[in-house]
């Protein structure tokens, strides 16, 4: 299974809504930026990271794959994923400019493609290749009904449909208005609409400061919030630890963290209750496993962030013992050979060999962008 070629790609896929916003981002497309890796025995693996479909920065990722990583991979044995991960991540010149950002997003794509290849070679879905499923039923929570840009009627209608028609028992609502009272009123309306038994998590996307979050948590204490995700600036360990000490609402974070070391700092400080690693921002599946094991050693639940819209995380969540539930955002699923599939709020377990990352050829033709 020698690596014969490394072929980066960029896809800009339209969202299911025309556009969405949270407290810090507004987007119309999701970027699927990654690489195809072909081996001498004819196997093809796919891996990708997730972006906001900003072509100039997407091209930095594909340039890193094409110009920096591909020459280090060609001719190598694709089975040696740990050695290859180290070869790329700890290459002195790349480590000098990397360890986070572009080089890490590019590494994620390569590493996922290597895991996809190895599971395909074994003829097993990734969860089985990793060691088998821990559960028969992986619950999904719906994020796509709760965007900050949705008017209240849209938010309430979407929440009601998700619960009453689609069978979800878990929702996530974005918060982060300039006036937090607006968010309290929206959450109270959703709670009233869906009733007390639905689990409602909230997500601030790092906008507010510590005193704002502390006041907000006081006001939200009767709304039975399942977790408060990214309340503060992404890298603020001390702030999250202080907030965690001052509120009974559990803190969730991790989607913006690039390394196992970053997770270690938050966990050691008691700053996180729900650990949210993402294979597309960490260095792929290889580093995700390190983070999930670290969380497990502290008996913290792992709830991955859907930077790949859960195509890979569905495997990892069926497998890893620290996993609990999994985010659901249906934006890009129809562009894969084996799309994620949620019915009655539960993820169907994937059964095709690989990591469910094989992109449809027609999607590559229709939505592909030049890597420049």
203 or 236: CB nearest Mg ion: 203
Cα separation, 285 vs 184, whole angstroms: 37
Smallest distance, Mg ion to C-beta of residue 280, A: 13
Q: Which helix (H) or strand (E) holds 261?
A: helix 260-268
Question: 138-142 and 346-347 as β-strands: parallel, antiparallel, unpaired?
Answer: antiparallel
| Contact set with Mg ion (CB under 5 A) | 203, 229
Please answer whether residues 371 and 70 qualify as being in contact, where contact means their C-beta atoms are separated by less than 8 angstroms. no
Nearer to Mg ion, 175 or 190 (CB): 175
Question: Shortest gap between Cβ of 224 and Mg ion (angstroms)?
Answer: 20
User: What is the C-alpha separation between 179 and 195, in angstroms, rounded?
Assistant: 25
Minimum Å gap between C-beta 221 and Mg ion is: 22
Q: What is the smallest separation between the CB atom of 295 and Mg ion, expressed in angstroms? A: 17
Burial class (CB in 10 A: 0-12, 13-18, 19+), 211: exposed
Which of residues 229 and 338 has its CB atom nearest to Mg ion in the complex? 229
Q: How far is the CB of 306 from Mg ion (least distance, A)?
A: 9
- Minimal CA–CA distance to 367: which of 45, 144, 33? 33
Residue closest to Mg ion when measured from CB atoms: 203
Q: Which is nearer to Mg ion, 117 or 314 (CB)?
A: 314
Nearer to Mg ion, 237 or 253 (CB): 253
Q: Report the chain's terminal Cα–Cα distance, integer Å.
A: 29
d(CA 137, CA 291) in angstroms, rounded, equals: 23
Closest separation between CB of residue 256 and Mg ion, Å?
A: 9
| Shorter beta-carbon distance to Mg ion: residue 276 or 358 | 276
In contact, 111 and 297? CB cutoff 8 Å: no
Least Cβ distance, residue 62 to Mg ion (angstroms):
25
Min dist. Cβ of residue 3 to Mg ion (A) = 34
Which CB atom, from 111 or from 203, has the smaller least distance to Mg ion?
A: 203
Report the C-alpha gap between 137 and 222 in whole angstroms.
30
Which residues, 6 or more positions from 134, have their beta carbon under 8 angstroms from its beta carbon? 318, 319, 320, 321, 323
Residue 316: closest CA among 347, 360, 273: 347
- Cβ proximity to Mg ion: between 139 and 229 the closer is 229
SS3 78: coil
29-39 β-sheet, strand order: 44-51, 29-39, 3-14, 368-369
């Amino acid at each position: 299974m020698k690596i014969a070629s490394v072929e980066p790609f960029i896809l800009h896929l339209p969202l299911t809504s025309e556009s969405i916003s949270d407290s810090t981002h507004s987007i119309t497309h999701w970027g699927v930026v990654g690489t195809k890796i072909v081996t001498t025995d004819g196997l093809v693996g796919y891996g990708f990271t997730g972006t906001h479909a900003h072509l100039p920065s997407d091209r930095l990722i594909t340039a890193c794959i094409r110009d920096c990583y591909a020459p280090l991979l060609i001719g190598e044995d694709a089975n040696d994923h740990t050695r290859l991960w180290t070869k790329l991540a700890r290459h002195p010149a790349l480590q000098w400019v990397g360890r986070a950002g572009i080089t890490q997003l590019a590494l994620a794509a390569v590493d996922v493609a290597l895991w996809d290849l190895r599971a395909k070679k074994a003829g097993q879905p990734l969860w089985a290749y990793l060691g088998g499923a821990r559960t028969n039923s992986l619950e999904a929570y719906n994020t796509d009904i709760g965007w900050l840009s949705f008017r209240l009627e849209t938010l309430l209608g979407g929440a009601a449909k998700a619960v009453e028609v689609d069978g979800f028992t878990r929702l996530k609502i974005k918060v982060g208005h300039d006036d937090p009272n607006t968010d309290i009123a929206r959450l109270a309306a959703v709670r009233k609409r869906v009733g007390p038994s639905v689990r409602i998590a909230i997500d601030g996307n790092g906008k507010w400061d510590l005193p704002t979050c502390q006041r907000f948590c006081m006001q939200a204490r009767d709304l039975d919030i399942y977790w408060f995700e990214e309340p503060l600036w992404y890298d603020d360990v001390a702030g999250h630890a202080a907030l965690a000490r001052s509120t009974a609402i559990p803190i969730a974070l991790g989607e913006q963290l690039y390394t196992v070391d970053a997770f270690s700092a938050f966990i050691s400080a008691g700053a996180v209750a729900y650990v949210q690693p993402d294979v597309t921002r960490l260095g792929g599946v290889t580093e995700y496993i390190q983070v999930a094991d670290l969380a497990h050693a502290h008996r913290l639940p792992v709830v991955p962030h859907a930077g790949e819209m859960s195509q890979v995380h569905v495997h990892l969540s069926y497998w890893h013992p620290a996993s609990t539930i999994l985010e659901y955002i249906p934006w890009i699923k129809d562009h894969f050979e084996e799309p994620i599939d949620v019915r009655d709020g539960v993820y169907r377990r994937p059964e095709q060999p690989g990591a469910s990352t094989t992109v449809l050829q027609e999607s590559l033709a229709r939505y592909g962008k030049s890597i420049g």
